[in-house]
Chains A and B, each alone.
Chain A
Amino acid sequence: MPRGLIHSESDDVCVVTTDVQKGEEVLCAYLEKPASHVMLKSLDDIPLGHKIALRDIKAGEKVLKYGRVIGIATKDVMKGQHVHVHNLRSLRWGRR
């Protein structure tokens, strides 16, 4: 059973569907073709519904989910780290 889901093949993040503890292995399945998946080690405690990075993301890089830009990384994020408001911000609002 997957513990995370990825909306689109080009996505940089996976949504965990159970609470995940730091150090645990997480299997993320692709929604579009559930048979394919990636396995990665979580570097943080990540609550159900929150995002885990599928690759190393540099500060200033755009972050994709649903195959679309959902914001920009505000600091370097390592593969397996929690991606949320502490390291990701909107490109639409919050720039003032």
Chain B
Amino acid sequence: MMTIKGYVRENGSVGVRNHVLVLPIDDLSNSAAVGVAKLVRGTTAIPHPYGRLQFGRDLDLLFHILSGTGANPNVAGVVVIGIEDNWANKVADGIARTGKPVEVFPIEGYGDLKTIERASRKAKEMVQEASEKQRTEVDISSIVMSVKCGESDTTSGLASNPSVGVVVDKMVDLGAVAMFGETSELTGAEDIVAEKMATPELREKFLKIYKEYVDVIEREGVDLLGSQPTQGNIKGGLSTIEEKALGNIQKLGHRKVNCVLDYLDPLRREKGGTLCFVNTSSAAAEAVTLFAAKGSVVHLFTTGQGNIVGHPIIPVIKITGNPKTAKFMSEHIDVDVSDLLDLKISLEEAGERVFNYMLRVLNGRLTAAEVLQHDEFSPIKLYISA
């Protein structure tokens, strides 16, 4: 049995951070949310541009992301601010099911200043309560992690991604949950991912999700040449989407995928370890935001050319196999595995290096992205608003 020190929440889930969140439901509420975070030390506001006149599946996804972010075990308590209280209450109800403190403050009828005062009084209480929560020894199987690569280059497929693959195998074997996504970026390797599915039903669900995603792109009358590979990918030597995808999937490890989640599906743990495909966009912040909303408490992010993404409530660990990026963007890089390129270390040793670093982060060490205030919160929007 392997343990880490985490925060056990009211519903038994385990977090590795202890944030008090100030959650705006809509764009109009960002000012008040940021206002609270300025007044009350120890709070984190997560402004975003959405939440008005959305409808259907797109609105459900926004609620899923906002509720899921508040419900994430890295969060101790949540102050919800919305222009009106109907939608705000819906999101708060989703968070309240975890048993953690959550309270809604509507702006209509009060104005920003009174709302900031009311919400700040509550936030102050929550921060003081959260400050008494202690880390306790818990089995590592309670951890939910996620993986994604960004600004990839050929070193991603050679070094950083397979190193993360070693960690994914290890975590699944230890009974934990690992999630991956990037639906469109699997193009050229989608058949390999389909082969990894544990059952025919999961394979079918995965291929349906993949096809729907690509169909949306084709319906726009375009393909993704020019976007995929990105200009950064091309600069780093990746020539085609197929080449990029084959590098991408190196981080999935070698276990069967026993869980496939579409946008609105909640995470379910499988006995003996869970490896989950999650339907996500391949944009870094959107993907990490969705993983966190599904319950990920730590993210392993591999980069070749130097993607610098972070997230307001989950630590994002940056890993590179590119020696130039490790040198010239060192403040963003947590783990350098570029010595794999010289064959100075084995893949297992590189994986062990990433795993050990992740343990330190789970136990409290801050990542580069956390210290540099990379707090990207980017809900996925599916289509136009009304």
Contacts and interface: CB of A to CB of B under 8 A. Distances in A.
Nearest to B244: A70
B223 A84 contact: no
A70 B237 contact: no
Contact of B158 (A5, A85, A93, A96): A5
Interface in A1-25: 1-2, 5, 7, 15, 17
A93 B173 CA distance: 37
Given A1-B342, A5-B343, A90-B188, 16 more contacts: A2-B342, A5-B158, A17-B158, A48-B237, A49-B155, A49-B237, A49-B304, A50-B237, A65-B246, A68-B189, A70-B188, A71-B239, A71-B240, A84-B237, A89-B239, A90-B240
Interface in A28-47: 29, 31, 34, 47
Contacts of A51: 154, 237, 239
Given A15-B154, A17-B342, A90-B242, A49 B225 contact: no
Enumerate the 7 nearest inter-chain pairs by beta-carbon distance, A residue then B residue, closest first. A94-B225, A49-B237, A90-B240, A50-B237, A70-B243, A93-B223, A17-B341
Q: State which size class the interface on A falls in.
A: 20 to 34
A42 to B, nearest CB: 14
B18 interface: no
Nearest to B225: A94
Contacts of A47: 237
Contacts of B121: none
A34 B154 contact: no
Given A49-B154, A51-B239, A84-B239, A90 B225 contact: yes
Binding site secondary structure of chain A: loop
Interface of B: 153-155, 157-158, 187-189, 223-225, 228, 234, 236-237, 239-243, 246-247, 304, 322-324, 341-343
Given A29-B343, A49-B154, A93 B243 contact: no
Nearest to B162: A31
9 contacts: A7-B157, A48-B237, A66-B247, A68-B246, A70-B239, A70-B243, A93-B187, A95-B223, A96-B223
B116 to A, nearest CB: 48
Interface of A: 1-2, 5, 7, 15, 17, 29, 31, 34, 47-51, 65-66, 68-71, 83-85, 88-96
A91 B239 CA distance: 11
Centre residue among B237, B240, B246 by max chain A CB count within 10 A: B240
Contacts of B225: 90, 93-94
Nearest to A4: B341
Nearest to A85: B239
B236 A49 contact: yes
Contacts of B246: 65-66, 68, 70
B239 A83 contact: yes
Nearest to B341: A17
A50 B235 CA distance: 9
B242 A92 contact: yes
B158 A15 contact: yes
B240 A70 contact: yes
A40 B190 CA distance: 33
Given A17-B341, A17-B342, A91 B242 contact: yes
A50 B343 contact: no
Max chain B CB contacts within 10 Å: which of A66, A71, A91, A93?
A: A93
B343 A65 contact: no
B343 A89 contact: no
Contacts of A15: 154-155, 158, 237
A69 B245 CA distance: 11
A2 B241 CA distance: 27
Contacts of B343: 1-2, 5, 29, 34
Given A2-B343, A49-B304, A90-B225, A66 B157 contact: yes
A29 B340 CA distance: 12
A58 B276 CA distance: 41
